[in-house]
Structure 1
């Protein structure tokens, strides 16, 4: 069965350049990265369902995009294909959007907590899991908390989500955040002193997505003013 999802909501083919495994800073989450790569490349993991939990900004979306990208890169050699879906966007549509997705060998579903107040969607996700497992394919979910902590009325869905391998993502330390931000700046051709990176993580949002966004803003301001990335410049540019 062909999926009936609106193509405008599907983001499986070309995730943002910075949303790949090579660009993910694992910190204490290396086991998660290794497991997801093994799932895609070897398809020889302990279960066919993986669940990632963690607060916003810890990299859940990054990892699901990375799984999708890596899987689709393998299509030519192994016939692996993947799809990425964000339930925050999809929830406005019918749960019938999930029909036919079991044809993909890896289905990545972000923000499962979005179904907490939508019982029909809870049933739709439950049915999708059963269809995917029946054909021997794989699912990767993400949510803000572990399955049993979600406010999901359909207990069968909670049991299904909890049945797989569950990981709780750990935040990066200050030192790891500084190193990651300096590396990302270097990749963009920017020289970001470690003391400036340290200032940013202490006085701005600590999640990597926000930090990369502000780094792009500082890059534009730096080019416009022909000024280096210093703490006084950052304070002025961000009005801190």
Structure 2
């Protein structure tokens, strides 16, 4: 029919497998201190440690590697409750993920830190910012958190950034060439989150359009972004 509008093809986004093993961790100057911390366990400077870094910087990957080594359980900070603390520390090691202002029960975390010290348990906390940058109402918890040693994951250098683009594509089983990798590395913000979002966009749009993931497609999408 003349003037009819073609329906937009829907893309069904399927979950992709992202390996969080040691063999699949990409090493670079940005994360060497954090990786060294994980690999030197249990010889830590403190039984409670904090990994800090931007979205996608590898905090959860490193925490997963450490959990495999130590037998640690893992809990999201927002799910932490005082009643669950003894069970969470039952193995003597615990990962507390994504600590952010207003996103956790302060009294539950204070209880956890006290019990971990009493039981000589290991705790690895992760957050996008250092604990000193969090607004904490509970004074004793604020003091306790600021005494926790922090290991930062920095922004990726060019080599690591390119490797991340390749890895994110491989996680989605996308075949890419150097021209695409080089184009993306020079056009998008050099951050972990930007690399992941760019590959997510390429993957979903290639599926919707029925086209391969190429430099030409990336140029079209980024030009319209």
For Structure 1 versus Structure 2, the TM-score category normalised by the shorter chain is 0.7 to 0.9
Which of the residues 92, 98, 108 maps onto 2:85?
98
The answer for unaligned runs of 5 or more in structure 2 is 1-16
Please state which structure has a larger fraction of its residues in helix.
1
State how 1:10-49 maps to structure 2 within 5 Å. 17-28=18-29, 29-39=31-41, 43-49=42-48
Cα distance in 1 between the residues matched to 2:24 and 2:177:
20
Cα distance in 2 between the residues matched to 1:95 and 1:134:
16
Aligned to 2:3: none
State how 1:192-231 maps to structure 2 within 5 Å. 192-204=176-188, 206-208=190-192, 211-212=195-196, 214-215=198-199, 218=202, 227-231=211-215
State how 1:145-164 maps to structure 2 within 5 Å. 145-164=129-148
Paired residue secondary structure (1:171) = coil
Cα distance in 1 between the residues matched to 2:220 and 2:186:
16
- Scaled by the length of structure 1, the TM-score of the pair is 0.70
Cα distance in 2 between the residues matched to 1:186 and 1:125:
37
Question: 1:153, CA displacement in angstroms?
Answer: 1.6
State how 1:52-201 maps to structure 2 within 5 Å. 52-68=51-67, 70-71=68-69, 80-88=70-78, 90=79, 94-115=81-102, 121-185=105-169, 190-201=174-185
Cα distance in 2 between the residues matched to 1:141 and 1:96:
19
CA distance 1:206–1:86, change in 2 (3 Å): farther
What is the RMSD of the two structures over their aligned residues, measured on CA atoms?
3.0
The answer for unaligned runs of 5 or more in structure 1 is 1-15, 72-79
Aligned pairs, number: 207
Are the equivalent residues in 1 in contact too, given 2:27–2:160 (CA < 8 A)?
A: no
Q: Which has the larger radius of gyration?
A: 2
Question: 1:141, CA displacement in angstroms?
Answer: 0.6
